[in-house]
Structures are given as structure tokens and as C-alpha cells.
Amino acid sequence: MNRWIWQRGLLCTLLAALLLAGCGGLGGSGGARPDTTAGQDLEPSAQGREVVMYALGLIGTDYRFGGKNPEAGLDCSGMVSYIYGRAAQVQVSGSAADIARKGRSVGGERLRPGDLVFFNTMNRPRSHVGIYIGDRRFVHAPSRNGQVRIDRLDSRYFASRFEEGRTYFD
């Protein structure tokens, strides 16, 4: 129970910081790669806002290949499926590539908090997925370092592997 209270406090602090900072955006040149120049994030939908809040509450959850719930551990697609189902009542399932086949493609400059970001991390298209939270950051469940965490789209590793953004919201 104490972990939940701590996570909620962290969530509120992070959300307040995002709102107060004005959240820098992704700008863009029309290509799939995210532009790393500063800009203004687009306003999230109500569902997107709920997805981001839920995702931030899962930071620190253990990674587990094939994991579909926080108690047992989560992998990237299990995390997205779990969060979208509970926070937005949108059912997504399958691998990251399966999830990418649905939704609507959005360029890096059009990403809104709550949208999904896809990466080629295993020499296989759309092999990893995360949830965009704004300010060129995303929440994901990486196998490396073993816990749900926040990373940046413009980090050397992820910028070179970014493939596309997709939205399930209006």
C-alpha cells in the first residue's frame, strides 16, 4: 500500500511539472523520425491524459517477458494492453507489431500524450512499443534494466530505432 501512495505522489508531481513546463514537443519535417527541436506538444485527448496518468503510476513495475499485469510483471505490449484497457477502455492485444497494425499513423510532429511509439529494437520492425507522455519522452517496459521507466525519443539509442507513432484516439 505504501508503494501505491508513493507512486501516486510521484505521478502528481510529474504531471504538475509537465503542465507547468509547457511540455516541449516534437516538431517535424514530415518523416517518420522524430525531430528533436523544441516545440509545443499538441493537447492530449481526455483518453490520452488518462493513459499517461496510468502509465506514470506503473513506473518501477518489474519487466517479465509475456507479462500482462503489474503483479506478475509486464513486457512492452502487455503494458500497453493493460493500460489502454483500464485507463481508456480500448482493447489492444498481441505483440508490438500486432498493436501497430491498428490505430492511425501519426508523424513525430503530431504525437500527443497517450499515443503509441514504435521502435525496431531487435532487427525486426515494430519490435518495441511505448506510450508517449510529452516533452519527447515515453514510458515503456524494456527488458534491459528490468523495470517500467521513462526514456527520451531523442536519446541516441531510441532516435536511431524510432519507426512511427500511432494513435487510437480522436
**What are the catalytic residues?**
76, 128, 140
- The dihedral over CA atoms of 148, 60, 94, 80, expressed in degrees to the nearest 10, equals -80
Q: Residue 98: which of 81, 84, 75, 114 has the closest Cα?
A: 81
- The dihedral over CA atoms of 153, 156, 157, 163, expressed in degrees to the nearest 10, equals 50
- The dihedral over CA atoms of 114, 64, 149, 153, expressed in degrees to the nearest 10, equals -60
All three cell numbers of 145, joined, read: 534494466
d(CA 78, CA 8) in angstroms, rounded, equals 21
SS (H, E, C) 82-119: HHHHHHCCCCCCCCHHHHHCCCEEECHHHCCCCCEEEE
